[in-house]
Amino acid sequence: MSEFNEFDQQGSVPNRDTGSIISHAFEMYKGVFGYGIVAMIIYLVGGSVIQMLTGFDSASIVEDMKSSGGDFNYWSAPGLPLYMGASSLFGLLLSPLYVGLIYMVNKYNTKSPIEFSDLFIGYRQNFVNILIYSLLSGIISSVALALCVLPIIFVYPFLLLGYPILLFENASATDALGKSFNIAKENYGVFLLTGFLGFLISIAGVILCGIGVILTAPFIMIVMYSTYCAFLGKPRQIMYSK
């Protein structure tokens, strides 16, 4: 049977404002930068394998869209339904890596030794609730995106604390969702701006240089950790034992 053993250590905590949270996240990201890249490589390699297995060719789809003059039907692309289903399942199964990265950030913040296996703690601790939360947040985000994209900007702040709560409080998926919503509701301005800036920085790799997304995408996970520290205090260092 697995459980969490906890003990206090030193660590930095940002103030409850966007500038302090983002600055704290940058400082924290320095310590887990390489592991964030590993997580992204796993995600990209898995996505490429799924494309090969489903016969969906995103590169050719982009070319067809450019040459169609605006008449291209994306949903009629060969292999799209199977690809969408498989990639969604893969993304869901990969969500514990986000928790693992947050766990590593906390170890860096408390000056504890980081091990490569820490990246996979989400597969050993609270795994089912992490998957359920990922599914629920994915549905919420998809609905927001379907409502003309813009609503996702205003909905995402309510999801900002979910993964840290799942890790540090060993909460259920619904409890994590509810607590994240309630805290964000009371501090919505800060959460909105923090989530927006964190997201912009995370996608900067796509805008500046496509492959750069490997370097920047994990940053939003660090923002989640720094936001948790600001509003709920520095988590205790977690020792996982079987």
Match 């492959």 to its residue by tokens: 211
Closest listed residue to residue 240, CA positions, set 92, 72, 50, 103: 103
Q: What does the pLDDT look like over 124-180, one tens digit per residue?
A: 999 999 999 999 999 998 888 777 767 788 999 999 999 999 999 999 999 999 999
Phi-psi category of residue 70: left, alpha or beta, with phi > 0 → left and psi -120 to 50 → alpha: left
> Mean pLDDT, to the nearest integer, of 184-204?
94
pLDDT over 80 at 4, yes or no: no
pLDDT computed for residue 242 by the predictor:
47
240 - beta bridge partners? 4
Dihedral (Cα; 8, 11, 12, 13), 10-degree rounding: -20
Please give the residue that has the higher pLDDT: either 195 or 47.
195
Pair 202, 216: CB distance under 8 Å? yes
Residue 55: exposure state from Cβ atoms within 10 A (0-12, 13-18, ≥19): exposed
Q: What does the pLDDT look like over 41-64, one tens digit per residue?
A: 998 888 888 878 877 666 665 555
pTM of the complete model: 0.86
Which of 13-22, 44-53, 184-193, 223-232 shows the lowest mean pLDDT across its residues?
Answer: 44-53
pLDDT over 50 at 6, yes or no: no
